Structure formats: C-alpha cells, structure tokens
Amino acid sequence: AQERVADGIAKQAFDTKKPVFILKEFSLQPTARVIIPYIASQQGGLNCLSCHNVAEGTVLGGIDIELDVKEYRDHALWVMVGLLALSIVAFALVFVNTARTIKNHVQQPLETLIDHAMTAYRQHQPVSPDQFHSREFSNVADEINLFNTEIIAHQDMLQKKNQELLALNDEIESTLRETIYTMGVIEEKRSHETANHTRRVSLFSQLLAQKAELTPREVELITAASPLHDIGKLGIPDDVLMKPGRFTEDERNVMMNHPAIGYAMLKHSQRDTLVAAGIIAYQHQEKWDGSGYPQGLAGENIHIFGRIVALADVFDALFSPRVYKEAWPLEKVVEWFGEQRGVHFDPRLVDIFIVDIDEFVAIYNQYPADKETEM
C-alpha cells in the first residue's frame, strides 16, 4: 500500500463519509475503483480517538483500491455472445419449425383445396371434404361445393339463354336475308330483268369477294346485301323503267336517280347487312375513272362492295339476253372487260375475274336466265 494525495473522487468519499464505487467497463483497460473513508470512532476493538486528537466522526483518511477487471469484462462478453448465439439458434429453430408447420398444415392443404376446387368446377363434381385433416379446410370445401353448385346452375341457365338468343339471332338474320333477297326479286320482276338475275349477282359477288381475299364477314355481308343493288328502281316511274327502247336524255336522268333512291331507302338502318346494302345501292354505278354516277367517285374512294357488285352486275347484263339485246358471247365479254380495266372497273378485280372466268360461267349455267330457280 502507498499513500497518495486525495483527488476529487476521494474528496467526494471524505465529504459524504460513504464509500464510492467507480467502474470503467468501456475502456480498453477496464478498472474497478473503491474508496472507503476511514472515520475516527471510539467504538469497536480499535479506539481511534485514543491515538488521534480529533472529534468523533472525523475522516482520518481512506482506503483507495483500484482493480483491473479486464478478465472479468471479457468473460462477461463471452457469456453474452454465447447467450446471443443460443438465442439466434433458438429463433432459427422456431422459424424453421413455424415455416414447416405452416407449409404442412396450411399451405399444402390450401393448394390442394384450390386444385381440387378448380377440377371440381371444370368437371362439375364436388370437392371431398374428408381428404382434409383440419375442420376449417373441410368447412371451406363444403362452402366451395355449395358455391360451385350455385355457379354451375347459373351458368347452365345463362348457356341455355345464350343458345336461345343465338337461335333467335340466326332466325332474325335468316329472315332478313330472305327478305332482302325477296325484295331484290320483286325489283327484278318489276324491271323485267332476266330470271335469276338477283341470285346470280349475289353469287358472282360472293365468288369475287372471296378471290379478292375479303374477310369472311365481308364476304357474308356482300353476299347477303347485293340483291338490293337496284332496289332504287322501285322509285322509278313505270313509263321510264319499262320502256323497251332507248331513253331520252330526260328519261336517262330519271333512271340515273335509282342509286340515290335506293340509298335513301336503306340509309337509316343500323344493321350491318342493310348498311352494306345501302353502300352497294349507292355506289354500284360508279366507275374507276370517276365518270360514273351519282357521286362521281373514283378509284378506291369507291367502296370495295360497290366495285365488286358493279362488275358482277355488268357481267350478268352482258352475258344474259335482254329485251333490247342478245346475250354476248364469252369471248366478247372477256375482250370488253379487258378494255374497261382501269376505266369502268377496278383493274385488280378485272384480273381476278378474267383468270377465273370459267367459275363465273359455271354459276350462270347453274342458274340460267331462261329458267326460274327456287330459293
């Protein structure tokens, strides 16, 4: 032991007459320091007052002990590290066990339930609740079965209604096509056209549209709508329409009104077939070079429906006998169409027509101009 001058901490112990304990655990060299004040007293085995001429309770000095606690600090740290490691391992075990439990008792049964529910829905069979060990999943399976039963019942009802609507729509479309064809035949009869003119123009248009690679829906529309190409002639007076000889200039002007009349009759409809019929009625007298009527349209400004029906209508008129002319021979018809390529008719359509002329003639022979054919 050695004596030293009291520092501030020692004076604190002397002033308070109580021991002071200081631990410096966070330094590189941790220490523990204890200062115990030595107080004069006549009590006990050692009578301080007999040696010192001081009053009772006087602080005579103190014991200052400083210990190196690095070893103890390191030991405590290792204990803490060990506890932390054990905690991490315990947490990992809990996490793994929880994940495995969730997978075995929740995820896998849920996935199985979903798969079986989808299969049951597609095959219209119930999900078996007995395959699940959990009451909750068995209850869910029962709810799914109830839900599927209701959904399937509604779907069956909707499917039946859809089939009824499709059948009704088909009947409406069929009735519309039949009505359109009948109107075309009525116009044909009133105009004293050759027999089967309406049918042949429709079939010529269908064949030409297919070979021109129109969409199936466009082919369907032009086939159904083309019988009304001359429906505007119903608005032409009999003395002009049925005149056997050549028209006067005034009569020709009256006759040239029939496309506009036909369009006026059809333009208010929103049905696709009648919209197509209105286009055809209005544009089938237009010419590729712009010299046609009533609008003077040219080139691709003329709707493809109008261009196709124009060619089909003229071919039938030339190849059929009329009250005012004999039927043209096929060679003359082909030669004339070649001359009108890019003048009266779309050049591409003329090329298609001439290459496959035999197919158009076959349609004509099937529905000849001198014999009525039933619809």
Tens digits of per-residue pLDDT, 54-92?
677 777 677 777 777 777 777 777 888 888 888 888 888
The b-or-e profile of 165-189 (16+ CB within 10 A means b, else e) is: eeeeeeeeeeebbeebbebbbebbe
Helix (H, G, I), strand (E, B) or coil at 295: coil
CA-based Rg of the chain, rounded to a whole angstrom? 54
For the stretch 196-206, pLDDT in tens is 888 999 999 99
The pLDDT score that the predictor gives to residue 258 is: 94
For the stretch 133-159, pLDDT in tens is 667 667 776 777 777 777 667 767 877
CA–CA distance, 116 with 145 (Å, rounded to integer): 11
Task: List the end-to-end C-alpha distance of the chain, in Å, as a whole number.
Answer: 135
CA–CA distance, 33 with 17 (Å, rounded to integer): 16
More confident residue, 96 or 134: 96
Mean pLDDT of 303-317: 97
What would the two tokens of residue 163 be?
Answer: 């089939």
The pLDDT score that the predictor gives to residue 140 is: 72
Count Cβ atoms below 10 Å from residue 257 Cβ, excluding itself.
Answer: 17
Q: Residues near 265 by Cβ (< 8 Å), separated by ≥ 6?
A: 231, 232, 234, 235, 281
The pLDDT score that the predictor gives to residue 375 is: 45
What would the two tokens of residue 152 be?
Answer: 């399937």
The pLDDT score that the predictor gives to residue 43 is: 67
DSSP 286: -
Q: Residues near 375 by Cβ (< 8 Å), separated by ≥ 6?
A: 178, 181, 199
When pLDDT is cut at 50, 70 and 90, the band that residue 308 belongs to is very high
| For residue 110, pLDDT beyond 90 | no
CA–CA distance, 191 with 201 (Å, rounded to integer): 15
| For residue 107, pLDDT beyond 80 | no
The pLDDT score that the predictor gives to residue 9 is: 77
Pick from 52-66, 89-103, 170-184, 217-231 the range whose average pLDDT is largest: 217-231
| For residue 210, pLDDT beyond 90 | yes
Name the strand (E) or helix (H) holding 33: strand 31-39
Mean pLDDT of 23-38: 77
Least confident residue range of 122-136, 186-200, 204-218, 236-250: 122-136
The pLDDT score that the predictor gives to residue 306 is: 97
Contact assessment for residue 58 and residue 14, using Cβ atoms and an 8 Å cutoff: no
Name the strand (E) or helix (H) holding 128: none
Beta bridge partners of 62: 37
The pLDDT score that the predictor gives to residue 223 is: 95
pTM: 0.57
**Beta-carbon-side half-sphere exposure of residue 49 (alpha carbons within 13 Å):** 9
In sign, the C-alpha dihedral spanning 341, 306, 170, 176 is negative
| For residue 46, pLDDT beyond 60 | no
Nearest Cα to Cα of residue 231 among 266, 256, 202, 205: 266
Helix (H, G, I), strand (E, B) or coil at 250: helix
Question: Which residues are known to be catalytic?
Answer: 233
Mean pLDDT of 325-342: 94
CA–CA distance, 6 with 14 (Å, rounded to integer): 9
CA–centroid distance for 76 within its chain: 66
Nearest Cα to Cα of residue 344 among 314, 305, 304: 314
Nearest Cα to Cα of residue 282 among 272, 273, 292, 290: 292
Contact assessment for residue 207 and residue 310, using Cβ atoms and an 8 Å cutoff: no
Count Cβ atoms below 10 Å from residue 283 Cβ, excluding itself.
Answer: 25
Mean pLDDT of 188-192: 61
CA–CA distance, 180 with 188 (Å, rounded to integer): 12
When pLDDT is cut at 50, 70 and 90, the band that residue 184 belongs to is low
What would the two tokens of residue 335 be?
Answer: 């030669």
| For residue 296, pLDDT beyond 80 | yes
The pLDDT score that the predictor gives to residue 191 is: 56
| For residue 372, pLDDT beyond 60 | no
Helix (H, G, I), strand (E, B) or coil at 248: coil
